[in-house]
Structure 1
Amino acid sequence: PVHWGRTMCRSDAAVTASGETIQMDYGAGMSQEDFMLKDECLILNYNDEVIGADNKYNVHKFVAGQPKGIVHRAFSVMLFDAEGRLLLQQRAAEKVTFPTVWTNTCCSHPLHGQVPSEVDVPGVDPIGVKRAAVRKLRHELGVKPGALSPDGFKYMGRVHYWASDTLTHGPSAPWGEHEIDYLLLYQ
């Protein structure tokens, strides 16, 4: 069962059931602007194959020649407690895309350059995406080290979608999402 609340503690690393050490200090002291410029998202072709990496700012920016942004990998976590209740999260007001919108538990990106690797190839169990989910749940919700294991996520499939953030920025929104999104459940 999953438990969350104010009693969660923080440390610098977690060890999974399989003995894998995951660094847990990701994001300490970083601003939203830091994340946008330093986090390297995985750029994809339409077959979900990694063809490069670029920062969050560039992959979410809609510009001439790239009016739907750059296709990149993402994940969406639906975290359920022991009673089957889904934990929802309101996105931070500082987010560039869809600020203050209520969403599933956690949405983010596996990143290039993480140790252990968050890069997966299509057709295999997406352990890298699951590692990224553990990292971001710790960062965004304070889930304590060891509370969630990458092995505990159930991979449900993936969707390719595009969404312009007209809610925040109007009809000619310069920001949005163009992602192949991995859907993960955890209870």
Structure 2
Amino acid sequence: MEELVVLVNPQDNVIGLMEKQQAHVNGLLHRAFSVFLFNYKGEMLLQKRASEKYHSPNQWTNAVCSHPRNGESYLAGAKRRVKEELGIEVELAEKFSFIYKADVGGGLWEHELDHVFVGNYDADFSLNKKEVEEVRYISIADLDKEISENPENFTEWFKIILEEYKHHF
């Protein structure tokens, strides 16, 4: 099934639909969401993207990041993808939104109006191995150290979103 993204202007008005990979080739602004999950110790959940992903494979990123479908709210899309990728249900709260553009290599761009959600989770996962290689929790201090020492191990958008997240908290 062809996956479409919702193209928008900077005010989040819909201007069309486009096949996901084509939107990433063209670098067109589209709707997205990012989910940050934390355990009871305040550590952030990271996922390692599956090796078969068409861009940024085997790189660490936030718990879940994806795109709402046409007619689907940002929150509904975020909850859907948390279930599809991590096999869990969790309460999420939207914290902020912003626009960014990142070169993800291979002639592909992430240019997204990104709504960022936060939740807490402390139980088992049922990972979709086509999406997620593995998960782990990490403190923000250790995460900052890892990113500074090995930035190539992390997705480009995660590094941008993480910095934006820190400005809001």
TM class by smaller structure: 0.5 to 0.7
Q: Residue 139 of structure 1 aligns to a residue in which SS? A: helix
Superposition RMSD in Å: 1.4
Partners of 1:93 and 1:137 in 2: how far apart? Answer: 19
* Aligned equivalent of 1:179, options 96, 108, 112: 112
Encode CA deviations 1:42-79: one digit per residue, 9 max, x unaligned.
100122211111121211113xxxxxx11101011001
| Runs of 4+ residues over 3 Å off in structure 1 | none
Specify the code of the residue in structure 2 equivalent to 1:95.
K
Cα distance in 1 for residues equivalent to 2:24 and 2:53: 11
Q: Which residue of 1 aligns with 2:7?
A: 43
Contact 1:96–1:175 (Cα < 8 Å) also in 2 = no
Give the one of 44, 47, 59 matched to 1:89: 47
Matched residue, 1:155 = 94
Bigger helix fraction: 2
Q: Out of 59, 66, 76, which is 1:101 matched to?
A: 59
Residue correspondences, number: 120
Structure 1 vs Structure 2: percent identity of aligned residues?
37
After superposition, the C-alpha distances for 1:81-131 in whole angstroms (9 at most, x for unaligned) are 23322110011222222221111100100011xxxx41xxxxxxxxx1111
Kindly indicate whether residue 83 of structure 2 is the aligned counterpart of residue 138 of structure 1.
yes
The structure where strand makes up a greater share of residues is 2
1:118-152 per-residue CA deviation (whole Å, 9 max, x = no partner) reads 1xxxxxxxxx1111111111111111xxx32xxx3
Match of 1:79 in 2: 37
Matched with 2:156 is none
For 1:136 and 1:82, locate their aligned partners in 2 and report how far apart those are by CA, in whole Å: 22
Larger radius of gyration: 1
Unpaired runs of at least 5, structure 2: 121-169
Paired amino acid for 2:54: V
Q: Distance in 2 between the 1:133 and 1:47 partners? A: 20
